[in-house]
Amino acid sequence: MIIGVPKEIKPNENRVGLTPSAVAEFVHHGHEVLVQRGAGEGSGISDGEFIAAGARIVDKAEDVFEAAQMIIKVKEPQQKEIEMLREGQIIYTYLHLAPDRPQTLGLMEKGVVAIAYETIEVDGKLPLLEPMSEVAGKMASIMAAYYLAKPYGGRGVLAGGVTGVHSAKFVIIGGGTAGLNAAKVAAGMGASVYVLDINAERLRYLEDVLPKNCQMIMSNRMNIEEEIKDADAVIGTVLIPGAKTPKLIRYDMLKTMKRGAVIVDVSIDQGGCVETSRPTTHQDPVFEVEGVLHYCVANMPGAYARTSTFALVNATLPFGLIIADLGWREAARRYIPIAKGINVAYGKITCKPVAEAHGLEFVSVDKLLQ
């Protein structure tokens, strides 16, 4: 199979779909790999490193999309990239289709096979999402602490406080991978951390692994309302695989919060868990509503591109090799996780939460494979 790796064009997205070692693995399996010139620069990977691993460098994205049978990316295809796709072509990347109707319709119209990193599931876990959730969770607490500084619009509260002065209160909604890592960093800075989750068993686990300046609270509407009233920072990390994120913080709740408090909505890729959230970029990351700063960057790990690229490719490579070796149909027949990753195929939506989000017909992967 011919594998194509274009340069990411989403603003400030510096990650790349494959590393040189991953290229070498695809080549070892008998595949040809095309990499767009400069695709790895943002992650500190030179064209020479890709060439040494066996890749062929091509000048333009058009060259990659025209020749490749499978496109491997990081972020969802932008409109310009969707226009270059063709029927039957595989695109393997993060998609986050539930909140993105234009992309969903574009992929359907092109007749591609779109396989989403974020819905490949193994034993109830999302192994291709977890490494980026780690990065985003750790970043969330760093960004919250940064924007709490008065010059950046915050309350002027230091996360860890100092002797004789209260530390900041960090409220983390969602105790999954991102929430756990956000709590670790916030606790490490000395903040008072409160983690809310709907799963009592998960809260027991978090109680065991997190330090003593972290408290676990059952998540429900009343508890969220109470905890955010005196919070200095609120970090939303809620995730329902493949589906739009529920709005757990409503507009009217912002009026009860402290002026200069900070919200970091890590869930923004799936629509955000805050009613007032909207996607922002690393160039213009924050905005204010009712005196509360919102940080809603839709590709947070892109800021730490080298770490994120290598962590991501470690997770995506095994499944990518199976798809390339067997073709998407046989890979889906043999491996349920890959079948779960297929969101769109030949104009049909094959991920139920995506179909429900847009009010469109759902067709199971099994039916397509018959």
Listed by start position, the domains of the chain span 2-111+306-369, 130-298
Q: Please write the tens of the pLDDT for every residue from 113-166.
A: 999 999 999 999 999 999 999 999 999 999 999 999 999 999 999 999 999 999
Six-digit token string for 175: 């105790």
- Give the Cα separation of 361 and 370 in Å (integer): 18
In a 3-state reduction of DSSP, which class is residue 172? strand
pLDDT range class, residue 265, cuts 50, 70, 90:
very high
Q: What are the tens digits of pLDDT across the range 88-120?
A: 999 999 999 999 999 999 999 999 999 999 999
Q: Nearest-CA neighbor of 35 among 47, 22, 21?
A: 47
Q: With 0-12 CB in 10 A as exposed, 13-18 as middle and 19+ as buried, what is 298? A: buried
Q: Per residue in 201-233, pLDDT tens? A: 999 999 999 999 999 999 999 999 999 999 999
Q: Is the dihedral of CA 155, 160, 161, 166 positive or negative?
A: positive
- HSE of 287, CA atoms in CB hemisphere, 13 A: 12
pLDDT reported for residue 370: 83
Please list the residues that pair with 169 across neighbouring strands: 192
Mean pLDDT of 338-365: 97
In the predicted model, what is the mean pLDDT of the chain? 97
Q: How many Cα neighbours within 13 Å face the side chain of 134?
A: 11
Q: How far is CA 195 from CA 70, 171, 201, 238, in A?
A: 40, 6, 13, 12
Residues 245-268 as b/e (b if ≥16 CB within 10 A, e otherwise) read: bebbbeeebbeebbebbbbbbbbb
Q: How far apart are CA 219 and CA 214, in angstroms?
A: 15
Q: Which residues are catalytic?
A: 96, 269
- Model pLDDT, residue 117: 98
**Fold assignment, 130-298:** Rossmann fold (3.40.50)
Amino acid identity of residue 59, one-letter, is D
* The two three-digit tokens of residue 121, written as one number: 């599931």
The confidence score (pLDDT) of residue 313 equals 98
Position 306 scores a pLDDT of: 97
> pLDDT, tens digit, for every residue of 307-325?
999 999 999 999 999 999 9
Burial class (CB in 10 A: 0-12, 13-18, 19+), 282: middle
Closest CA to 244 of 224, 218, 268: 268
Residues 6+ apart with CB under 8 A from 9: 61, 78, 80, 81
What's the fold here for domain 2-111+306-369?
A: Rossmann fold (3.40.50)
Q: Mean of the pLDDT values across residues 182-208?
A: 98
In the chain, % of residues over pLDDT 70:
100
